[in-house]
Amino acid sequence: MSLSNYAIIDSTLREGEQFINASFSTEQKIAIARGLDEFGVEYLELTSPQASPGSLEDLRTICGLGLNARILTHIRCHRDDAAIALDAGVDGVDVVIGTSSKLRQFSHGKSIDEIIGLASEVLPWIREQAPDVELRFSTEDSFRSEEAELLRVYLAVDRLGVVNRLGIADTVGIATPSQVTRLVGTLRRLTHCDIEFHGHNDSGCAVANAFSALEAGATHIDTTVLGIGERNGITPLGGFVARMVTLDRQGAAAKYRLDKLRGLELLVGEMVDVDIPFNNCITGFSAFTHKAGIHAKAILNSPETYEALDPHDFGLTRYISIAHRLTGWNAVRARADQLGLSLSEAHVKALTQHIKVLADERALSLDDVDNLLRNWGNGNGNGNH
């Protein structure tokens, strides 16, 4: 596995548009596209120009912005869709067709042979029209498709020799990391194409599955800002970035403007009316707060002891909470130092015990503790406050 040789395809402007609260205006799409480009994702995937007249307009507009990110659009395996997409000036098309028995029965109604026939007609046609366009072929609901049938489709497409990338999609979010490893590994061995992974988060494995895909040789990972998408969405950009930074901090920092992540999440969050969850990787409000006295002491000595990620890499700061019964005297002393108060060690220890007793009786705020510190620091401390 190469930890640096992967690309992010951010689909906030395609999968993300399928999130229940999303209905982006042209200006909002431009702001998201620019934000993602500034962050440094390699690709933006936009809604099919067939979806609506506005989608076509906006695709043209974003293709014309001159961003560094390559612009892709997501289309059905259909000549008309491809023709409109190419005419809009995209750098690549992401072609998708369902292969699971459910999709074959309840969606497009085609057999595996018919799917292969269609792909064999549409994909070479796209390549003829646009020799330089990036062409991806993906199967929808790959993990609930019958494996032999699925491989038959991928091998037939690979043999056409016109596709750059094969995509696999965990459309309903049920794949396990080892299933992802196995399928990506099989495609790696049997085909010559790059491999893209698109994973939904219904059972909470979207980041783990994206990482398993990379470990097994995938080259492209689909994300959206805050993970927005159909139902509860897909691999979140921030969670995926957290995963990669813990493994190769310098590599990730060289590829992406990590300090732009929070602004991007706030931007999109406001547009779709969602708050950043408290337990969000990196940007959740408590992601870099430390509470227990034992943790606080070690953090004060060396933050790496209890931090896998450095908040400063993301333009953030850590916070040590001291106004509670789990507090410890090292953290209380550090707060006294911050306030410019000089207390003896014995005083700090006595005050810490006092805080614990008070905290057993009622909820304390940092202001309460600061007032105590100031009183004790002024020499009024006698333990009877």
Contacts by 328-337, CB closer than 8 A, 24 or more apart: 328/292, 328/293, 328/294, 328/296, 328/297, 328/352, 329/293, 330/293, 330/296, 330/297, 330/300, 331/293, 331/296, 331/297, 331/300, 332/369, 332/373, 334/296, 334/300, 335/369, 335/370, 335/373, 336/373, 336/377
Q: Which is nearer to Cu ion, 233 or 381 (CB)?
A: 233
94 binds, among ligand HCA, Cu ion, none (CB under 5 to 8 A by kind): ligand HCA
Q: Least Å distance between CB 140 and Cu ion?
A: 8
Residue 298's CB is within 10 A of a number of other CB atoms, namely 18
Q: Which is nearer to ligand HCA, 47 or 352 (CB)?
A: 47
Q: Which is nearer to Cu ion, 219 or 235 (CB)?
A: 235
140 binds, among ligand HCA, Cu ion, none (CB under 5 to 8 A by kind): ligand HCA
Residue 122's CB is within 10 A of a number of other CB atoms, namely 21
| Candidates 166-174, 205-213, 255-263, 351-359; binding stretch for ligand HCA (CB under 6 A) | 166-174
167 binds, among Cu ion, ligand HCA, none (CB under 5 to 8 A by kind): ligand HCA
Q: Which is nearer to ligand HCA, 47 or 181 (CB)?
A: 47
* Inter-residue contact 187 to 168 (CB < 8 Å): yes
Q: How far is CA 126 from CA 17, 58, 68, 93, 96, in A?
A: 25, 22, 24, 9, 14
295 is catalytic: yes
Q: How far is CA 87 from CA 57, 83, 160, 341, in A?
A: 11, 6, 23, 68
x/- letters, 285..324, toward ligand HCA (CB under 6 A): ----------------------------------------
Tally the C-alpha atoms within 13 A of residue 318's C-alpha that lie toward its C-beta: 20
Q: Given 295, 312, 324, 385, which residue is catalytic?
A: 295
CB proximity list for 165: less than 8 A, separation 6 or greater = 134, 135, 136, 137, 193, 194, 195, 196, 219, 220
Amino acid at 262: R
Q: Least Å distance between CB 334 and Cu ion?
A: 46
- Region of residue 52 (left: phi > 0; alpha: psi -120 to 50; beta: else): beta
- Region of residue 217 (left: phi > 0; alpha: psi -120 to 50; beta: else): left
Does residue 17 bind ligand HCA (CB under 6 A)? no
Q: Least Å distance between CB 209 and Cu ion?
A: 13
Window 346 to 385, contacts with ligand HCA (CB under 6 A)? none
| Candidates 164-172, 209-217, 305-313, 328-336; binding stretch for ligand HCA (CB under 6 A) | 164-172
Interface with ligand HCA (CB under 6 A), residue total 13
Distance CA 197, CA 168 (A): 5
Q: Which is nearer to ligand HCA, 142 or 181 (CB)?
A: 142
Q: Which is nearer to ligand HCA, 23 or 378 (CB)?
A: 23
290 binds, among ligand HCA, Cu ion, none (CB under 5 to 8 A by kind): none
Q: Which is nearer to Cu ion, 19 or 376 (CB)?
A: 19
Q: Least Å distance between CB 142 and ligand HCA?
A: 8
Window 198 to 227, contacts with ligand HCA (CB under 6 A)? 198, 200
Window 88 to 147, contacts with ligand HCA (CB under 6 A)? 94, 96, 138, 140
Does residue 283 bind ligand HCA (CB under 6 A)? no
x/- letters, 3..32, toward Cu ion (CB under 5 A): ------------x-----------------
3-state secondary structure 322-374: CCCCCCCHHHHHHHHHHCCCCCCHHHHHHHHHHHHHHHHHCCCCHHHHHHHHH
| Candidates 143-151, 155-163, 165-173, 329-337; binding stretch for ligand HCA (CB under 6 A) | 165-173
Distance CA 120, CA 112 (A): 12
Q: Which residues bind Cu ion (CB under 5 A)?
A: 15
Positions marked catalytic = 295
Q: Which residues bind ligand HCA (CB under 6 A)?
A: 15, 18, 74, 94, 96, 138, 140, 167, 169, 171, 198, 200, 230
